[in-house]
Chain A
Amino acid sequence: MHISEGVLSIPVLAGGWAVAATGLSLGLKKIEPERLPEVALLAAVFFVASLIHVPIGPVSAHLVLNGLIGLILGVAAFPAIFVALALQAVLFQFGGLVVLGVNASTMALPAVLCGVVLRPLLASGRRPVVMLVGGAAGFLGVLLSGCLTAASLALSGEAFVTTAQAVLLAHVPVMIVEGLLTAMTVGFLSQVQPALLAARRS
């Protein structure tokens, strides 16, 4: 879901950077020093996960894992995802530095939403509930990112319905895979390291 350079209009690009800057500063303020390793590790996970590619017909899609990252990091998911995307833009020319604001926002906003809305539900610590919440985070993270990508393309003049269809259809298998993977991972984490998922005072 990296949007390429030269596709979006200038207001959309500027808007993306405005959202990204806000998210970055909020996220950076939220990182407690003890949680820096988590943020760095999950940035690395996101950086590598985006290189897993699922070919679907003529379109390609890859794992995003923003739901999982949001669930663990909350608002701090924004800087983690931003750094990973910046490195992908510089090293692989995925997306680009001008569209980085939009790309970071479309990936990180759903992650933050998962962290804010879904993480409190993990408090019960019961495994079925935790896995269900994890699955929902994985599924919703990709779904919402797809919607935001389609919306930013639509705001730049592409027909919203066809673009949204193309983007979302391509990502249906990814949503399912991500839902399962996130459910598994969160279920595992809740048993091995519940502190990672515990609701944090904010």
Chain B
Amino acid sequence: MHGHKLPVLWTVLFVFLLTTSAQAHKVNLYAYVADGTIQGEGYFSSGDKAQDCPVVLRDASGAELGSARTNAQGQFSLPLPPLTPSSAPLRLVLSAGDGHQNDFTLTARDLGRDLASAATPAEAALSATIPVTTTPDTADQASAFQPPAFAPDAPVSAAALEAMLNQALDRKLIPVNAQLAALAERADRVSAKDIVAGLGWILGLFGVACYFTGKRRG
């Protein structure tokens, strides 16, 4: 009995030793919208970056809106195309070749403002022009904040204020988005917990099979 179990056990142990860098075989994708562009990253569940892979952007109806390729760091960016309210949700599809593919959905909520501005083009035009005159890129946020707040024309200043707040928020959110991407990447890795869970399932199924074969014979 002992001799029967040993070799298989040996194989399992050997395999476990090799698994110290538990890596696996699935491509993932994470993306967010900032400053009118879609930023994203493709990576394997092993943590390797998905390099030089095509990414295609499609709208809700499946029409292709644009495409990009990932760079050596697995990152890609593509300009947010003009949207209509019915475009959402947008779908990004990354193909890694070898039969591997995954997608990421940018929902109406992710697209929030960009969809809203598509709905009211006049407001969008307004918010697009005001920031240029106040040059928020060179001025610091406080001074960029000032002029429209004290402008005599109240409705314009409200729109301009929103545009500037949005721009400032986009900049502030870049590190947060990057951190979320890193978290998503970590969550997609295979954990020891999952491996043990799988082995437990196999053991359980074995038990069920034993139960039924034992019952049949008894």
Contact = CB atoms under 8 A, between A and B. Distances in A.
Given A43-B202, A60-B46, A193-B4, A49 B15 contact: yes
Contacts of B152: none
- Chain B CB within 10 Å, residue with most, of A8, A58, A65: A58
Interface residues of A, number: 57
Contacts of B102: 4
Interface residues of B, number: 52
A182 to B, nearest CB: 10
B138 to A, nearest CB: 40
- Chain A CB within 10 Å, residue with most, of B15, B48, B97, B213: B15
A189 interface: yes
What secondary structure prevails in chain A residues at the interface with B?
helix
B213 A33 contact: yes
Given A4-B101, A91-B194, A91-B198, A50 B25 contact: yes
Contacts, number: 155
A84 interface: yes
Interface in B1-58: 3-4, 6-8, 10-12, 15-16, 18-19, 21-27, 44-46, 48, 50-53
A62 B26 CA distance: 11
Given A52-B19, A87-B198, A92 B45 contact: yes
Given A4-B99, A6-B103, A53-B25, A47 B198 contact: yes
A192 to B, nearest CB: 5
B7 A193 contact: yes
B205 interface: yes
Interface string B192-218: 001101110111011001100110010
15 contacts: A3-B99, A4-B100, A33-B217, A41-B8, A41-B12, A44-B202, A47-B199, A47-B202, A48-B199, A51-B24, A58-B97, A163-B99, A166-B98, A185-B11, A189-B7
